[in-house]
Amino acid sequence: MVNGRTKIIACATVIEEMLPLMPSDLAYEVLDFGLHLVPGSLKIRLQEAIDAACLEYDTLILGYGLCSMAVVGLQSRNCTIVIPRVDDCIACFLGSSEAYTAQNKKEPGTYYLTKGWIEVSDTLLDEYNRAVEKYGQERAERIMRVMLQNYKRLVYIDTGTENQEHYREYARSVAARFNLRFEEVIGSNNLIYRTLYGPWDDDFVVTPPGNIIQYTDFKTTATTTANFNLYSPTPPTRKDANG
């Protein structure tokens, strides 16, 4: 590829894991995590970002998954769009959809945290503190019990980035506060690495210019275009979270 013709548009939690792997000259744009709370708003903001980026770039990599259908209906008139074929970013942090499915089978009622989530999103503790301010402690406790009635486990995903101990202890304290069983799993940057450098195989949705991203794109076993690598330079040696 020609330098400067590819851009990343990513959620704030995902860019946290992308940045250590990205070339220094790769353009990127970070969208607010709070947009996930209203998928319709996320869809609008993503389309705006795509429209603007396609005035300058040929390929857009979205640091998102299906994300409550927010990416369905997006299109670009003159850019290729690449998205990991996952339901949400948890699979990206674990390294694959298969790893995510395995965790769900182990315990469906699981709340996940990573360094990025703790940094940029509202955790259970944030939601609780906000509810206390608005409704008082007694009602806030009731609200949280209802919210978490189907949750039994909190999993902290160690993605291998710096200062993990601080975020691990925060996650452990959240689990203890809400009586959730704490577990830690070692994540993998395999899927994020391949999102950046290819090959874009069946784990990715690759949408050519003029096409609209469909829900069925995420449920099939073939991508929409032939596979190809993103960068001609040799990519950095990948190091998974477990070393």
Q: Walk along the chain (243 residues) and give the pLDDT tens digit of each residue.
A: 334 599 999 998 899 899 999 998 899 999 987 777 776 789 999 999 999 999 999 999 999 998 889 899 999 889 999 999 999 889 999 999 999 999 999 999 999 999 988 988 778 888 888 889 999 999 999 999 998 999 999 999 998 877 889 999 999 999 999 999 999 999 999 999 999 999 999 999 999 999 999 999 998 543 333 333 343 334 555 555 544
Does residue 105 sit in the same domain as residue 142?
yes
Provide the token pair at 16. Answer: 């946290």
The reported pLDDT for the residue numbered 160 is 85
How do residues 184-229 score in pLDDT, each as one tens digit?
999 999 999 999 999 999 999 999 999 999 999 998 543 333 333 3
Three-state secondary-structure class, residue 114 = coil
The reported pLDDT for the residue numbered 100 is 93
Q: From CA 62, how far away is CA 18, in angstroms rounded?
A: 11
CB within 8 A of 166, min separation 6: which ones?
none
Provide the token pair at 136. Answer: 């008082």
Does residue 169 sit in the same domain as residue 147?
yes
Does residue 140 sit in the same domain as residue 114?
yes
Show the domain range for 173. 97-186
- For residue 241, being part of any structural domain is answered with no
Does residue 111 sit in the same domain as residue 168?
yes
- For residue 23, being part of any structural domain is answered with yes
Does residue 182 sit in the same domain as residue 193?
no
- For residue 59, being part of any structural domain is answered with yes
The reported pLDDT for the residue numbered 241 is 53
- For residue 1, being part of any structural domain is answered with no
Does residue 179 sit in the same domain as residue 194?
no
Alpha carbon 161 to its chain centroid, in Å, reads: 15
Classify strands 204-207 and 80-84 as parallel, antiparallel or unpaired.
antiparallel
What's the number of CA atoms in the CB half-sphere (13 Å) around residue 70?
27
Does residue 46 sit in the same domain as residue 158?
no
Does residue 104 sit in the same domain as residue 161?
yes
The reported pLDDT for the residue numbered 240 is 53
Nearest alpha-carbon partner for 172 in 131, 113, 119 = 113
Does residue 67 sit in the same domain as residue 125?
no
Does residue 36 sit in the same domain as residue 104?
no
Does residue 49 sit in the same domain as residue 126?
no
- For residue 131, being part of any structural domain is answered with yes
Q: The whole model's pTM is what?
A: 0.83
Q: From CA 178, how far away is CA 164, in angstroms rounded?
A: 21
Nearest alpha-carbon partner for 180 in 211, 146, 210, 150 = 150
The reported pLDDT for the residue numbered 8 is 97
- Please state the domain count of the chain: 2
Provide the token pair at 5. Answer: 């013709």
Provide the phi-psi class of 87: left if phi over 0, else alpha when psi is between -120 and 50, else beta. alpha
The reported pLDDT for the residue numbered 191 is 95
Amino acid residing at 167: Y
- For residue 235, being part of any structural domain is answered with no
